[in-house]
Amino acid sequence: MVSLASGSSPVLMDPPCSLPELCEQYRRHAMRVRSVCKDTAHEELLYLNRFFLDFGPSETPAALFSSLSPPRLSAFLIKYADTHGIGSRRWMQHSLRSFLHFAHERSYLDRDLTALVPSVRRPRMGRVPRCLPDECIAALQAGIERNTARGLRDSAIVSLLSTYGVRGVQIRRLRLDHLDWPGSRIHFPAAKGGRCINQHLTPDVGNRLADYIARGRPDCCHPEVFLTLAEPFRPLPCASHLSAILRRCMKRLGVRTPDGVSRGSHGFRHAFATRMITRTSFKTLVDLLGHRDPNSTLVYGKISVGDLKSAALPWPGGGQ
């Protein structure tokens, strides 16, 4: 265990015997005490398992906590930062801080080490969103073959993402009863504290969804539209699973994305907002993206360089 530099050591509790037990204990704590949703707790555990693997795949919780020290923690964070992007680093450092605080609360560690894990700060308006180019989206929509269950599913997913610009979690949570076939409407549940989205069901999206449901979707008890391909059939479990589907499609079709562009669902979302920013009012775009706070939509105003130039005031004393 980590020892204090001076003074008496607190009484430490014995952790669970195995890492799966520790993970389940952490998951229940995260949902009950921190009130995170099931998907967030699952995502945090994905990153924590990467952290556990750094100490060895067969490490027990007791051995993990006894070998955990400030130098070892710092070395892991430096190594992880060298091989992962800013989004992955933010998730890892957020998950680590939450886990270390949990371990200290449970007296598995004799002091709170969260101060050793810095936050990854990124100004909200500090960059222009980088979107998936239209030609990449067109290549995906045209290139995915729809003669297999995988192709039918992946084609429907790409069509939904490119047409409506919804979040990946809204694709994963989409249920059969969210499809209003007689009214030609589709309902996306709210996500990340935003609003639900109700949209017209376009013919192309409707046809791809109908093809997948009729010819590719397994017959099972789950209400979610999109399911895994292998038994036991279940809903797509997490964001990384959906991202892996999209990356496989791009790799299979030879679609190359520019540097810095997300190859997950957010690349499609940014592309949708980029297309719509000059075609509709700002209030309508807020509703289309499902934002509750209009400030979340403001970042897309930086995309339209032409509109920004026309809004610029002449410099006093400058040329005509």
The catalytic site residues sit at 167, 192, 266, 269, 291, 300
Q: Token digits for 239?
A: 């964001």
172, 228 in Cβ contact below 8 A?
Answer: no
d(CA 33, CA 44): 15
d(CA 111, CA 68): 11
d(CA 309, CA 18): 60
Residue 100 CA, distance from chain mean position? 22
For strands 197-200 and 179-180, give the pairing.
Answer: unpaired
Helices (H), the chain: 19-32, 38-53, 61-67, 70-83, 86-105, 134-143, 149-164, 168-173, 203-215, 239-253, 265-276, 282-289, 295-298, 305-311
d(CA 10, CA 71): 22
